[in-house]
A and B are shown apart, each in its own frame.
Chain A
Amino acid sequence: MPPPEPRLPLLTRALIGPPGLLLLPVCALTGLLLLYGVSVPGGYFGLLLLGGFAGLLLTVVWLPRFVVGLIREDGRPGLRRHWVRWAAAPVMAAAVIGLVAFDVPWTVRFAASEASLERVAKDVSAGAEPEGGTRWIGLVQVSSVTRADGGVAFRLADAGFLDSHGLVWSPEGAPQENAPSTYEHLDGPWYEWTEGW
């Protein structure tokens, strides 16, 4: 019978062991933070900065452990034994990159909010006075709602860094481009609106 494994110092165990109870939840949280950060046009700058830094830290922690474990003969059995835990972080990273590349977070958020936004847009367009202040409409947080050229403009709260971002409901076609505002068709009567700094 082989002798039992000696008790290794905590840090040594953490460095040569598979990703565990700390790294994997932090990975998942970072992924969620990044997905939320890109879930509006222009993104949430502060969240993206924080998420990017956390992603960098996680890469610096995960990658050397994996590469050294792969190279060393005494590291490979651990990699094989705990392959699910080793694979979890890169799988999460790939999922986040894929979702961001295809703009899924914003597409989903807009789709879930479209009916609520359209209801407000139609009310305001029909003459109702828009409510002031920052508030949630569906799943998007807007800082102002205003009438604009036969449509209604929603300014998104905290979106973008120096530029402002929003949505325009314009059933009569694309809004008139007037610098520094630009518009990009989104879906049906909806246009993404960017107001340059």
Chain B
Amino acid sequence: MARNPATWVAVAILSVLAPLLLPSGAVWPLALVAGPVAMTAAVVTAYQQAARIRAGHAADPRHPSEGS
């Protein structure tokens, strides 16, 4: 689940929305840190996922460029 960018995007959205949903003033600094951190994790996992898909695609013997 942690390797899925969608999980981190969801965490980032919840972190940024948290100050609107929870009344405590302490949530703001937390959200300002947690939101960008979760978004960074989402981007990193997206790059890793893209690299895995590209590697799998290149190794696939049924690749259209090689004829199927």
Contacts and interface: CB of A to CB of B under 8 A. Distances in A.
Given A61-B39, A74-B51, A6 B57 contact: yes
* Chain A residues touching B, range: 20 to 34
Chain B binding surface, main DSSP class? helix
User: B interface, how many residues as a size bin?
Assistant: 20 to 34
Given A60-B39, A64-B39, A16 B50 contact: yes
A95 interface: no
Nearest to A57: B16
B36 A60 contact: yes
Nearest to A15: B46
Nearest to A2: B65
A11 B6 contact: yes
Interface string A29-58: 000000000000000000000000000110
Interface of B: 5-6, 9, 12, 16, 32, 35-36, 39-40, 42-44, 46-47, 49-51, 53-54, 56-58, 63-65
23 contacts: A4-B64, A6-B54, A6-B56, A6-B57, A9-B49, A11-B5, A11-B6, A12-B5, A12-B49, A15-B42, A15-B43, A15-B47, A16-B43, A16-B50, A56-B16, A60-B12, A60-B16, A60-B39, A63-B36, A64-B40, A65-B43, A69-B43, A74-B47
Interface of A: 1, 3-6, 8-9, 11-12, 15-16, 56-57, 60-61, 63-65, 67-69, 72, 74-75
